[in-house]
Structure 1
């Protein structure tokens, strides 16, 4: 696990805030493979507007990233998202929360994508 850098207090707050929102954890679980906001919304059965808000929070916290764009079934260009981490550990034993994370590697992403095909 990589530890957040010195001064990672803001980063810890951002991660805690994003994870504290309803449906954020479910979105991260569903985004193991690249998915559009619509697919994530459908997978976890939440309104698309809520899904977009959570995606924005998770991207800002660095837990989810846009992997690119693809054409939807309706022919519109849509962003595709995948989580950037597999685990987050939060330590509350100090005066401020600290966290460490296990980031996803490109190799793991490629392996996951090959399994889907």
Structure 2
């Protein structure tokens, strides 16, 4: 079902999604990941320990809210994963027996535009 760019989320477990969204720093990571960033960059941007950042990234990836876009070389010459959020907005409806989620997924066109503006 779609309404004004919103789609009902059919995949994913509601408990996993709510848990990932409810974890400390998850919202900050999602906000910071509008453009592709490494875990180290996300950790520095929102000023959280790198181990915590990696745990939150794993939860967000498992919930389908963040995805690995590829790998790049770090300044130390190591290959690092680069992450970007998969959606811009999410709506949760608690009026049913189980929470229902609607989301506005990011389009590839929007990703490309933001990448161009970043450079």
The alignment's TM-score, normalised by the length of structure 1, stands at 0.94
The size of the alignment, in residue pairs, is 114
1:43-66 residue CA offsets vs partner (Å, 9 max, x unmatched): 000000000000000000000000
Give the match's secondary structure for 1:28.
Answer: helix
2:5 equivalent to 1:3: no
User: Which runs of no fewer than 5 residues in structure 2 stay unpaired?
Assistant: 1-5
Listed as ranges, the gaps of 5+ residues in structure 1 are none
Structure 1's consecutive aligned runs of 4 or more residues displaced over 6 angstroms after TM superposition are none
Q: CA deviation at 1:79?
A: 0.3
- Which residue of structure 2 aligns with residue 73 of structure 1? 75
Q: Please report how far the alpha carbon of residue 38 of structure 1 lies from its aligned counterpart in structure 2 after TM superposition.
A: 0.2
CA RMSD in angstroms, aligned pairs only = 0.9
CA distance in 2, matches of 1:4, 1:64: 15
For residues 23-80 of structure 1, the C-alpha deviation after alignment (integer angstroms, 9 at most, x for no partner) is 0000000000000000000000000000000000000000000000000000000000
TM-score where L is the length of structure 2: 0.93
Give yes or no for the alignment of 1:95 onto 2:97: yes
Q: Which residue of structure 2 lines up, in the alignment, with residue 51 of structure 1?
A: 53
Deviation at 1:11, TM superposition (A): 2.4
